[in-house]
Amino acid sequence: MMEQVYTKTGVHPHCQRIFEMYKGKIHKFFSRGATLGSPVPTDILFVFEVLSEALAGEPIVEVFVIQRAIEHVSQGANRCSFCRREYESSSRLKRCAKCYRAAYCDQQCQRSHWSQHKQSCKEMPDIVGCPFVVSLPRSRATFSNLCQYMEAYSRYSVNVFQPPVKLLQNDQTGAAAAAAAAAGGTQHPSSSSSSSLCSLLSHMSQ
């Protein structure tokens, strides 16, 4: 499979990272020489190009990112989880403060339903985008650089609205440096901590 990607793109197999996505998570990795097996139309495969160690002249750090929201973005159904009463607007229901997936008319419905709900009541942040791979030379793999690269990648792969970045007074120096870099032909994403995408809980593994 990697050889076929190389034929079409010119990206060497050593610099390819291929994985299958399922429900916003990395489900399966494909190594060199792997075949697709029995793919179905619903399979979603991602191919990423990572930096070459020979080109960078130093070891490469690879970070695999799964994007989750710290705050729940889904509103769920507009029906009480216990009495099944339906409302025109889900905002009239009171949601479970832990999982945000169950909703109730009032505390009485919540208490009555707890014996059933407690088995599935778990804090599970919502998936808000596609997983991706960030690769950096080891000398540049700092926390600040990782945040900038992850935010830049996230801008093109999340399905939630990102409001304009509001800079704090202490961030003006950094903003001026980013503007100067952009003027010089190098684009860098904003590193402001107020960006909504910085609230993504990134699950990283190597």
Please write the tens of the pLDDT for every residue from 88-145.
876 778 888 888 788 899 999 999 999 999 988 887 777 778 889 999 999 999 999 9
- Co-location of 1 and 41 in the same domain: yes
Q: Which helix (H) or strand (E) holds 153?
A: helix 143-154
Cα 188 to chain centroid, rounded: 19
Q: What's the mean per-residue pLDDT of the chain? A: 75
**pTM over cut 0.85:** no
Nearest to 45 by CA among 65, 28, 67: 28
- Co-location of 160 and 117 in the same domain: no
Cα 45 to chain centroid, rounded: 16
Domain of residue 165, residue span? 51-72+125-206
Name residue 89's amino acid: S
Cα 79 to chain centroid, rounded: 29
- Co-location of 66 and 17 in the same domain: no
Helix spans in the chain (H) = 2-9, 53-56, 107-117, 143-154, 172-183
Q: Distance between terminal CA atoms of the chain?
A: 22
Q: Which two tokens stand for residue 31?
A: 């190594």
- Co-location of 203 and 113 in the same domain: no
